[in-house]
Structure 1
């Protein structure tokens, strides 16, 4: 099967290696972990790429050195005890899941995420081995699954997220945790069906949900979600200062979006969203960067395609999440299910429309790139960090690029002791400031 072949194929060993070789120079400002999560079935078999057991690959940088590489499976209850859906009480078992999609930091916890279940905490303190510490359900307050794409407000430190799914309503619940990590809001939202809601949007004043026509059907073989354009497509706007208030729904053309780049308020009555948009959900359908402008006064959405490059895994400097960010970054070459040459990272100037590009060369495919800041100025200088697979040698590198000069040669390249399979999302996790 394609999702078990080439660089989609899992690796079988957990390794630890120290003092990695470096071509170029690791910026001395970088002290912490680059962590990236992805599916890696422990028995080397899974029915779909999305279902493999989560494995976190981490490179630790410190003092201008590539100190170590580690890869560790996330020890979920599914990994240790086998696949199950129901617990002993017959209820949906939210500890059971792959934890294979993202890894984020909030309130001192590093969480491995998948949208079908609870998060799992992993230990990435200096000197530790990325061990799984256990399931995290916010002290028992979380009673739904948690999206793999939570948003941290850079102003308040709050973590905004949602859970979707279930056989019966409510199919969607909005959650908010405060800066200390306490879950303080859980609000059900009425939607007509169980759709695959992978991501959402946060601005300084709003939360925006995407209710799109990829609909669950338990009788559908394999992947239980399928394209049903007759369901319709709409965006739901909720005011952050009124979290239990009205959700206002604005219709858009049927489409699908896995990943949002960023969003911001534009005055009192407009919201601007950037997304990697698919015309429909299906194999070999490309995604392109689009802008949606929501006019709250008229209740309409203007939809614009901004570029004709196939792009996925969009990111910004996370210190500008929910605020206007001039620059965004995306990967070109790796789709959700197929690799497409040539592999590149793109830098979008969202003000001028200019696109800068870093090509990695024949057979070299990057994954999602995380932004690591160089100083304390949001939107200022920094680096893009990613794993790059080389099909000619069947090896992988950690690559560091200058985010302000993305077309230049890499700042640093770190050959890794084993191949890193294609995966999903990760982050630069800086060491705590002492």
Structure 2
């Protein structure tokens, strides 16, 4: 019998779900637009077995993919495991064989050298395939219609790096998928790979370069000419792992860098510009774009570390007020002879994370951005604990052109998961479409899927899809039209 630990990561709303399911025509309130025809995929970390070491952080759970298929004014649900090598080995053994998050020193000797990825961070659609992503391993490819696992993608041996990002981008001009892999030559190395994959699924570019220091490089940005990477000191080392410390710890004494890397064949290390600034925390990128010789880079930034489970490397206590992230614009000028930033401007007072845009404007000047907001002035009553730590209790829309914001509160006993924008049609104006996201109904131990008019979120959901099971706190998700997925109504 599986006995999960009686700890916050495994109890209350965070109790492992481990449910594979097919549910046709979910009950819903409001109106699902009949022209909405496609599927929203998202992923949650969901441990198959109790942790090998007695407890673990939620980021180490096995990937469970949820699919919500919209068609004919209804929504169908399917959920399946992402069957990684780790999942298969442990499923056969009937127990956990892999140890602590990003620490192979804690694994059962029987799985030494095996790929440790959990495919639990992003559910990404590209080239007619579902990519279940975790940044410490290659991408796991699945069938978007059946959700059956095909296996790890190494592009016929063309991919020589060991890792693939959890946050790919699609270049609107070329249609290529752009990705990076950090720790590309092994854990804790400063080697990074830059990849481009064409819509046929062929790896057409792999370039190697080095970064100022090894750290978690969870996200990045692109522009038409550049790959733009932020280096923030959530750092790790073999010494940390040998001492049983977390895989990442935050170092407030290290500088932060913005790397501007030309997207060209035959990349050389000296082609890269590294701009330096003082210490801060930043993770997910909203967008970036070029303006002449300038690069603008929009990202939620905080003074100090956002993740309490990746503690201060010098032993300082977690600082909740300093962890509050607000949307900030970093600007650097490639014409400058200086390595300093040109400007760092906080552009919103709203505390928020998980930024999203209309992805058709990736790497381009853009107007609209959506985020999960943490509004501490609202009532909070979360039975069984928050599904995400901080109460992400509002959806926020920012209009960068006017500076206006809209906010929608989900209620005292609920929290929200990452939003995703769905364009009304391929050629619809920017922001014309819908926002879809999961809402955690903490008191009822179940979930709703919410659908909003994207530019009128303050009016509340136009449809609320009732999910009869509890979806654990998920990370990232994406939408694609039915025609691109092999899905029939």
The verdict on a shared fold, with TM-score over 0.5 as the criterion, is yes
- Matches of 1:3 and 1:103, distance apart in 2: 22
**1:18-59 Cα deviation digits (max 9, x unpaired):** 121110111112212111112111115451111111111121
**1:281-329 Cα deviation digits (max 9, x unpaired):** 2424222111111122224321111222221110001111111110000
**1:238-294 Cα deviation digits (max 9, x unpaired):** 12245614111000221222200011111x211111112232224242221111111
Match of 1:236 among 239, 259, 270: 259
Q: Secondary structure at the match of 1:188?
A: strand
Unaligned runs of 5+ residues in structure 2 are: 1-6, 91-96, 99-103, 309-319, 376-385
**1:66-117 Cα deviation digits (max 9, x unpaired):** 1x212211100101113455999x9954x43100000111222110000000
Is 1:217–1:224's contact at 8 Å kept on the other side of the alignment? Answer: yes
Equivalent pairs counted in the alignment come to 427
Task: Confirm or deny that 1:329 pairs with 2:338.
Answer: no
- Matches of 2:364 and 2:22, distance apart in 1: 39
Aligned to 1:139: 156
Aligned to 1:370: 420
Is 2:26–2:466's contact at 8 Å kept on the other side of the alignment? Answer: yes
- Matches of 1:336 and 1:210, distance apart in 2: 28
Aligned to 2:304: 280
- Matches of 1:171 and 1:317, distance apart in 2: 31
Going from structure 1 to structure 2, the CA distance change for 1:407 and 1:418 (only over 3 Å counts) comes to: same
Q: Which moved more, 1:202-211 or 1:222-231?
A: 222-231
Aligned to 1:187: 207
Shift in Å, 1:169:
4.3
Going from structure 1 to structure 2, the CA distance change for 1:107 and 1:393 (only over 3 Å counts) comes to: same
Q: Secondary structure at the match of 1:323?
A: coil
Aligned to 2:41: 35
Q: Secondary structure at the match of 2:458?
A: coil
Shift in Å, 1:167:
4.1
Shift in Å, 1:380:
4.1
Aligned to 2:173: 155
- Matches of 1:205 and 1:87, distance apart in 2: 45
Q: Secondary structure at the match of 1:345?
A: strand
- Matches of 1:91 and 1:192, distance apart in 2: 29
Q: Secondary structure at the match of 2:150?
A: strand
Aligned to 2:382: none
Match of 2:218 among 187, 198, 209: 198
Aligned to 2:89: 81
Match of 1:57 among 57, 60, 66: 66
- Matches of 2:265 and 2:428, distance apart in 1: 30
- Matches of 2:143 and 2:237, distance apart in 1: 37
Aligned to 2:474: 423
- Matches of 1:71 and 1:387, distance apart in 2: 14
Match of 1:18 among 24, 32, 43: 24
Q: Secondary structure at the match of 1:347?
A: strand
- Matches of 1:303 and 1:271, distance apart in 2: 12
Match of 1:253 among 259, 269, 278: 278
Shift in Å, 1:366:
1.2
Normalization by structure 2: what TM-score?
A: 0.82
Match of 2:194 among 174, 198, 208: 174
Normalization by structure 1: what TM-score?
A: 0.92
Is 1:385–1:398's contact at 8 Å kept on the other side of the alignment? Answer: yes
Is 1:59–1:70's contact at 8 Å kept on the other side of the alignment? Answer: yes
Higher strand share: 1
Task: Confirm or deny that 1:315 pairs with 2:335.
Answer: no
CA-based RMSD: 2.4
Aligned to 2:451: 400
Going from structure 1 to structure 2, the CA distance change for 1:357 and 1:91 (only over 3 Å counts) comes to: same
Is 1:204–1:322's contact at 8 Å kept on the other side of the alignment? Answer: yes
Structure 1 runs, 4 residues or longer, greater than 6 Å off? none
Specify the structure having the higher radius of gyration (Cα). 2
Is 1:25–1:411's contact at 8 Å kept on the other side of the alignment? Answer: yes
Q: Secondary structure at the match of 2:282?
A: strand
